[in-house]
Structure 1
Amino acid sequence: MEECHRANTAAHAAIQLLNADENFELNVVVCLLIDILYYLFSTSYKDGSKAEPVDESSVKKMILTFEKRSYKNQELRIKFPDNPEKFMESELDLNDIIQEMHVIATMPDLYHLLVELNAVHSLLGLLTVVDLLQELTDIDTLHESEEGAEVLIDALLEGQVVALLVQNMERLDEQVKEEADGIYNTLAIIENMAEFRPGLCTEAAQQGLMQWLLKRIKAKMPFDANKLYCSEILAILLQNNDNTRELLGEMDGIDVLLQQLSVFKRHNPSTAEEQEMMENLFDALCSCLMLPANRDRFLRGEGLQLMNLMLREKKVSRTSALKVLDHGMIGPEGADNCHKFVDILGLRTIFPLFMKTPKKMKKTGTSEKEHEEHVSSIIASMLRNLKSQQRSRLLTKFTENDCEKVDRLMELHFKYLEAVQQADKRIEGEKHEMVRRGEILDDSMEDEFYLRRLDAGLFVLQLICYIMVEISNSGISQLQQRVHQILNLRGGSVKVVRHIMRGK
């Protein structure tokens, strides 16, 4: 009941402000109503014990009462636009029925009534008067994941609800606490909608959300919960979605991300929340680089130089910078980035990380295997993509200091070979046990076993084997001899390497 009391108090305070200032423009009312809706979202449905049971008849009655009160409120606002006292009572009545309607959030199977009785249309129509009611519907929409919500969400999307939410956020002033809270709760609505229906991310981004998020992220304001939330929503929009990745690229979003991340090249985040925001921005950048066109934007925006600096500075950002480089250089589309990386003396940065895995990685939540995977992937990408002089410079690195890098490569080879062989033994034991019990080894089980092998280190092992093959076939006899020498010394074989390369 505490949240309900807070929402009621806030709404009444908003009415008082309206009464006190004839020039008051509803911003606070909007935000407080969002607060009410946010309460509905975050408590009622998750904890049915807090809501009274409702039936079809009571819901219809609520909607009818809401329609009457909202119509009366609109009528009085139009009639007395400069005299808030005249519509203050209707504002309180409207707030009361909205409070009652919170209970609908516990009954998603009755959501269809909101659509059938035209309540969605009415709520969205009220946005021109009290933007807040848009949030009300939104919150209902986002919150549910039952089939009753499908109809409601469809109606909301038809009403361009995301565009309306964005328009409302644009007019809010975050210097005012209530309005800053309104933005936070609106972002929560968007997050819930995206979680319920991931497919709406493209539409939401195109309805102004992407532009607003980029604008807010680069705004020169102190770090706060809203900036953190914006970074999270941005990462969600870009996840597995080439349409939003392309849109961000066209809006110069790569430059925005690089500018925001540049703060962390010489300074660690000051709080856990700021570090979370940094990681969200890195995740967003990695997602963007999955789209080939964005790799060129990353290159032109001097993203490689920034990541290289981060690797050298040894701050918390180093781990994520390594991941970004991996995404930017992989595949044929990463060829230009590979060449540029060599040109900016990136080999001097990446090989010390290859030779010795940093110990202080717990703060970033990165494992030793993840680090070695990214470094190996970057070197493999360069071997695959580099031509002429740059390729020669890379191969020369392996000959330095009596081929110490080949020794390290072979050390990693046997480390991951052993880990995969141990995993294979466990898996074979499980297979034999399943056969003994008469269980069938279907494709889904085989896929699960393969994923376990990858998790044990098979993918890293394949990258290492690829590097071994490339340097052995480079025409530099010194490298080939060293690889074969260590293989023979430790009981390895070229046959095993070929087997691994085929993914077996």
Structure 2
Amino acid sequence: QPNRGTKRPRDEEEEEIKARRKQASAREHSRHREEESVALEETDDEKKKLLQIIERDGEEEEEEEEPLDESSVKKMILTFEKRSYKNQELRIKFPDNPEKFMESELDLNDIIQEMHVIATMPDLYHLLVELNAVQSLLGLLGHDNTAHVSIAVVDLLQELTDIDTLHESEEGAEVLIDALVEGQVVALLVQNLERLDESVKEEADGVHNTLAIVENMAEFRPEMCTEAAQQGLMQWLLKRLKAKMPFDANKLYCSEVLAILLQNNDDNRELLGELDGIDVLLQQLSVFKRHNPSTAEEQEMMENLFDSLCSCLMLSSNRDRFLKGEGLQLMNLMLR
């Protein structure tokens, strides 16, 4: 008979297989428990982080909800002045190394954004003047960093001069407008306009907000229109109107501001004539001799251009220019 002693009984083999399976199962179970434990720890960590963020946001909201008073505005202006000075210092020290001053520029942008809250309290505008913040802001209009600094200042000035806000506090408004006019704000705004690239959305918005500042100031103090026109604004508006660019909101706004500058103002009517503005107006209107305006916005621009032209024709010198520029023939074609 064959010797079966060398071969283990079937029962023993099955027992060993079961034992191995149990060990493997125990190891697998242990590994799953460890993974679950790590996952739970990660979940706990995420929860803690989330709670920290919520708490921090809550603290920031509490800080933001701090009542705006003379003391908090003074503190804000002081922070603005410090950051502006620090940025100026770093730019002088490291002119060819933007990494050294870029963070200070972002900090400066942050405080300029925070200062928008002052527009809710025009009674405190006098602090902007007394603490020389207006002069500092005007100085930053020519800043090399148009995106983070000069356009941010334009946005702030636009909100500070919002016509509804100005009427909330006549006294605060007078003080602010006086300081802006004295600082030749329009001349500085025009210099900034010259370097803005309207193909970049932020810079196109900067142009729009610049025109809004002029409109706000002109509505509050119409007599500043003469000075504004003479500080380069009239020339820039005419140049922008005749620029070979697609019709857009900024072109419409230019036509509106031009009409405002010419309203009841012989000095500006004369200046427009001297700058060949009658020709510019006729050229812009000639577009409509073959077809009517295709949108409500184009219709509005055409009306603004006609308002400007009619206003200018109050002067005999401009009537001569109109006739020489074949204005009558153009009007005849447009009426057909």
Which residue is 1:23 aligned to? none
Which residue is 2:85 aligned to? 71
Unaligned runs of 5+ in 2: 1-63, 144-148
Change (3 A) 1:242 1:159: same
CA distance in 2, matches of 1:286, 1:53: 51
Change (3 A) 1:213 1:64: same
CA distance in 1, matches of 2:104, 2:152: 15
Aligned counterparts, 1:211-230, within 5 A: 211-230=235-254
CA distance in 2, matches of 1:121, 1:262: 43
CA distance in 2, matches of 1:87, 1:178: 22
CA distance in 2, matches of 1:202, 1:248: 11
Q: Which structure is larger by alpha-carbon Rg, 1 or 2?
A: 2
Which residue is 1:111 aligned to? 125
Asked if 1:120 is matched to 2:139, the reply is no
Which residue is 1:275 aligned to? 299
Letter in 1 for 2:140: L
CA distance in 1, matches of 2:189, 2:286: 30
Residue-by-residue CA offset, 1:23-54 (whole Å, 9 max, x unaligned): xxxxxxxxxxxxxxxxxxxxxxxxxxx98741
- How high is the TM-score relative to the length of structure 1? 0.50
Q: 1:260 aligns with which of 271, 279, 284?
A: 284
- How high is the TM-score relative to the length of structure 2? 0.74
Asked if 1:91 is matched to 2:141, the reply is no
CA shift for structure 1 position 136: 5.1
Q: What secondary structure, in the 3-state scheme, does the structure 2 residue paired with 1:165 have?
A: helix
Residue-by-residue CA offset, 1:299-354 (whole Å, 9 max, x unaligned): 1111111111112x2xxxxxxxxxxxxxxxxxxxxxxxxxxxxxxxxxxxxxxxxx
Aligned counterparts, 1:66-465, within 5 A: 66-129=80-143, 130-132=149-151, 134-135=153-154, 138-139=157-158, 141-143=160-162, 144-145=166-167, 146-311=170-335, 313=336
CA distance in 2, matches of 1:91, 1:211: 32
Which residue is 2:69 aligned to? 55
Change (3 A) 1:178 1:99: closer
CA shift for structure 1 position 89: 2.1
CA shift for structure 1 position 137: 5.8
Q: What secondary structure, in the 3-state scheme, does the structure 2 residue paired with 1:81 have?
A: coil
CA shift for structure 1 position 274: 0.9
Which residue is 2:18 aligned to? none
Say if 1:62 and 1:101, in contact at 8 Å, map to a contact too: yes
CA shift for structure 1 position 292: 2.3
Q: Which segment drifts farther, 90-99 or 111-120?
A: 90-99
Q: Which has the higher contact order (CA 8 A, sep 6+)?
A: 2
Letter in 2 for 1:72: K
CA shift for structure 1 position 179: 1.4
CA distance in 1, matches of 2:212, 2:255: 13
Residue-by-residue CA offset, 1:408-461 (whole Å, 9 max, x unaligned): xxxxxxxxxxxxxxxxxxxxxxxxxxxxxxxxxxxxxxxxxxxxxxxxxxxxxx
Considering only aligned residues, what root-mean-square deviation do their CA atoms show, in Å? 1.8
Letter in 1 for 2:238: L
Q: What's the % identity of the aligned pairs?
A: 85
CA distance in 2, matches of 1:230, 1:127: 20
CA shift for structure 1 position 66: 0.7
Aligned counterparts, 1:13-28, within 5 A: none
Q: What secondary structure, in the 3-state scheme, does the structure 1 residue paired with 2:103 have?
A: helix
CA distance in 1, matches of 2:76, 2:174: 21
Q: Which segment drifts farther, 129-138 or 282-291?
A: 129-138
CA distance in 1, matches of 2:241, 2:142: 27
CA shift for structure 1 position 127: 3.1
Letter in 2 for 1:73: N
Equivalenced residues, count: 263
CA shift for structure 1 position 141: 4.9
CA shift for structure 1 position 140: 5.0
Change (3 A) 1:301 1:51: farther
